[in-house]
């Protein structure tokens, strides 16, 4: 078989770029280590996680059934989800996660004993969970634990454990974890809402602090927009927010309710949004059209079926991540289980899913893989030196609870350090009371992790290798089309009606997705998307201007001056969808009509 010179050069470039990213990633895990004392902002999550594992494990150990308590940990992972969400939303997330983990364990034990069927089931669950995590914006830890639980369910019955007991243990752990995950809301019911509004205020302050011509202005503007949107989403998740009113009867007793406090937060957020809108671009005086009293209404949160429908519009990051996760899990499972014959094949599949499920760019995926491998190696050393597997039952309890808390404290600040604690945690659970040799299981862990991260690194270079331009073009077309829809409703005075708010919400989501996708495309394939970057910048500013204008115009009052921009924007969206990318100036001209400002550049 012969290959063209062009194909050989292309393969060589891919190999060189991959080697460069791997070399860069090799030192990255240690750059995030900070030795100064700083407030441990993750301690509430870490404390809840430690308690969720401690309760069933302590009770089971006291009753002489420590193995049962260890198995309950498969359901206790529920506690890691929903942090930062308000009560109403968190309950829904926790219920969904608990049912998902129980279903995953049930599926795992159902296919246990059939190697290829176990690999296929784990890959399918990984793809489905990854898609839903992206589509529904589930947040960390995403799809990872669903993959892990299916793998555990397929492995343990082959070692003599009763399948029914495994499902019951997962259910017990989840039932214990759910109330513990809600505990912080007993202390401050509106804590998530306060934190989200405060974060939006800080993001706006950072944007307002930029000087005219500051290179960071666009990134800070995007961050402010995202923070404002996230704050509205958090308020909406807790219950439909309302603004403060002055209809309190004179002399009436003042009784501050949660609804009043939420109204205060909504009003504060409106002020942050107003401040952002008044300073839409650095280097210009505030637009008089954007200087009125705040009249914006919260945009609300899309229904679940709408979020799923959005993610199903090929191409999307959710679908691509799902495909890559399925490919990575299948490759790791076949390599570890079929070719190598590993006894802990699910470790390899979980490692592949871990580095792929977030949908990061190739360099970030490589960094995460190196972090995982380095942390695993150091963690194995800690496990062997500490002799955790040979300690008594109560020492096992203390070890597991402590390590689980340390993992959650470190996972955001430095992932390598978190894996250092995560590895002895997994190995202690796997060896406690089992009679397995610590060195043998540690060797399996290192081998399977190496297989998994290698598959995780390779998949983004093989699946969707040249997809960045097509995905970026599709997202540009969606953002411009969404802008045209809001412009049409704004020009007819319907921007504060339900249809208008829904259109603004769609535009805000499209801009968020465009921002994330563009950043990843530029990092993955800069040579293929360079010409799209100016158009992407112009599209982002167009969307921001449309949202800012719509948020400030009084309800029911048509803004007829923007109507000429509608037809032009729709034509541009159609052209972009066909692959005919317009010049940057054409998009800027639409923004000039909407914002009544001179175009940039």
Q: Which CB contacts under 8 angstroms, 24+ apart, belong to 53-57?
A: 53/400, 53/401, 53/404, 54/397, 54/401, 55/176, 55/180, 56/172, 56/173, 56/176, 57/397, 57/400, 57/401
| pLDDT recorded at residue 24 | 42
CA distance 138 to 379: 29
pLDDT in tens, 175-224: 999 999 999 888 888 888 898 899 999 999 998 888 766 777 777 887 88
CA distance 310 to 138: 15
| pLDDT recorded at residue 41 | 59
pLDDT in tens, 443-502: 999 999 999 999 999 999 999 888 999 999 999 999 999 999 999 999 999 988 889 989
CA distance 571 to 548: 22
| pLDDT recorded at residue 544 | 84
Residues 6+ apart with CB under 8 A from 381: none
CA distance 170 to 97: 12
Q: Where are the domains of the chain?
A: 40-187+314-462, 193-245+256-280+300-313, 466-595
CA distance 552 to 385: 63
CA torsion sign, 587 to 593 to 595 to 596?
positive
| pLDDT recorded at residue 261 | 83
| pLDDT recorded at residue 313 | 94
Q: Is residue 539 within 8 Å of 480, Cβ to Cβ?
A: yes
Q: Reduced to 3 states, what is the DSSP secondary structure of residue 264? A: helix
Q: What counts of helices (H) and strands (E) characterise the chain? A: 24, 0
**92 CB neighbour count, 10 Å cutoff:** 14
| Cα angle: 156, vertex 162, 167; to 5 degrees | 80
Residues in the chain, pLDDT under 70: 1-41, 212-213, 240-256, 279-300, 388-390, 431-436, 597-601
Q: Reduced to 3 states, what is the DSSP secondary structure of residue 100? A: helix
**Shortest CA distance to 367 belongs to which of 19, 20, 28?**
28
| pLDDT recorded at residue 119 | 97
């Amino acid at each position: 078989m012969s290959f063209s010179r062009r194909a050989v050069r292309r393969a060589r470039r891919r190999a060189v770029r991959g080697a460069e990213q791997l070399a860069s990633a090799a030192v990255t895990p240690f750059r995030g280590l900070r030795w100064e004392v700083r407030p441990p902002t993750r301690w509430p999550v870490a404390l809840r996680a430690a308690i969720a594992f401690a309760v069933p494990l302590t009770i089971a150990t006291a009753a002489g059934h420590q193995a049962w308590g260890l198995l309950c940990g498969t359901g206790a992972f529920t506690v890691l989800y929903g942090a930062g969400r308000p009560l109403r939303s968190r309950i829904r997330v926790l219920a969904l996660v608990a049912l998902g983990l129980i279903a995953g364990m049930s599926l795992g034990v159902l296919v246990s004993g059939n190697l290829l069927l176990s690999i296929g089931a784990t890959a399918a669950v990984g793809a489905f969970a990854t898609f839903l995590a992206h589509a529904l914006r589930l947040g960390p830890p995403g799809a990872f634990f669903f993959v892990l639980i299916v793998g555990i369910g397929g492995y343990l019955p082959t070692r003599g454990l009763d399948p029914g007991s495994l499902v019951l243990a997962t259910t017990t752990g989840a039932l214990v974890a759910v109330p513990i995950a809600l505990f912080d809301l007993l202390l401050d019911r509106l804590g998530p809402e306060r934190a989200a509004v405060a974060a939006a205020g800080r993001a706006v302050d950072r944007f307002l602090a930029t000087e005219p011509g500051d290179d960071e202005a666009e990134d800070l503007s995007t961050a402010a927009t995202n923070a404002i949107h996230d704050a509205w989403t958090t308020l909406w998740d807790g219950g439909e927010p309302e603004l403060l009113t002055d209809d309190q009867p004179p002399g009436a007793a003042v009784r501050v309710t949660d609804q009043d406090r939420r109204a205060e937060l909504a009003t504060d957020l409106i002020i942050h949004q107003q401040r952002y809108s008044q300073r839409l671009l650095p280097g210009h005086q505030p637009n008089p059209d954007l200087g009125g009293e705040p009249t914006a209404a919260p945009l609300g949160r899309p229904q679940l079926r709408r979020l799923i429908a959005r993610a199903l519009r090929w191409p999307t990051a959710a679908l691509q991540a799902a495909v890559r996760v399925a490919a990575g899990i299948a490759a790791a499972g076949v390599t570890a289980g079929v070719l190598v014959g590993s006894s802990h094949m699910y470790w390899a599949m979980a490692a592949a899913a871990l580095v792929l499920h977030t949908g990061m760019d190739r360099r970030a995926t490589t960094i995460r893989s190196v972090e995982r491998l380095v942390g695993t190696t150091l963690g194995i050393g800690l496990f062997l030196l500490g002799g955790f597997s040979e300690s008594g039952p109560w020492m096992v309890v203390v070890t597991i609870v402590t390590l689980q808390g340390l993992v959650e404290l470190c996972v955001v600040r430095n992932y390598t350090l978190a894996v250092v604690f995560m590895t002895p945690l997994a190995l202690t659970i796997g060896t406690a009371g089992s009679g397995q040799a610590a060195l043998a299981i540690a060797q399996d862990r290192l081998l399977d992790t190496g297989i998994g991260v290698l598959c995780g690194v390779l998949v983004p270079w093989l699946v969707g290798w040249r997809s960045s331009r097509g995905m970026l073009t599709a997202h540009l077309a969606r953002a411009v089309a969404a802008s045209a829809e809001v412009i049409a409703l704004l020009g007819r005075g319907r921007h504060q009606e339900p249809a208008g708010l829904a259109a603004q919400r769609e535009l805000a989501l499209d801009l968020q997705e465009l921002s994330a996708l563009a950043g990843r495309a530029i990092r993955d394939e800069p040579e293929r998307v360079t010409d799209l970057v100016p158009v992407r910048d112009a599209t982002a500013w167009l969307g921001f201007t449309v949202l800012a204008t719509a948020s400030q115009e009084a309800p029911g009052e048509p803004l007829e001056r923007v109507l000429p921009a509608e037809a032009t924007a729709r034509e541009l969206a159609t052209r972009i969808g066909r692959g005919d990318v317009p010049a940057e100036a054409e998009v800027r001209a639409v923004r000039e009509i909407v914002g009544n400002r001179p175009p940039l550049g």
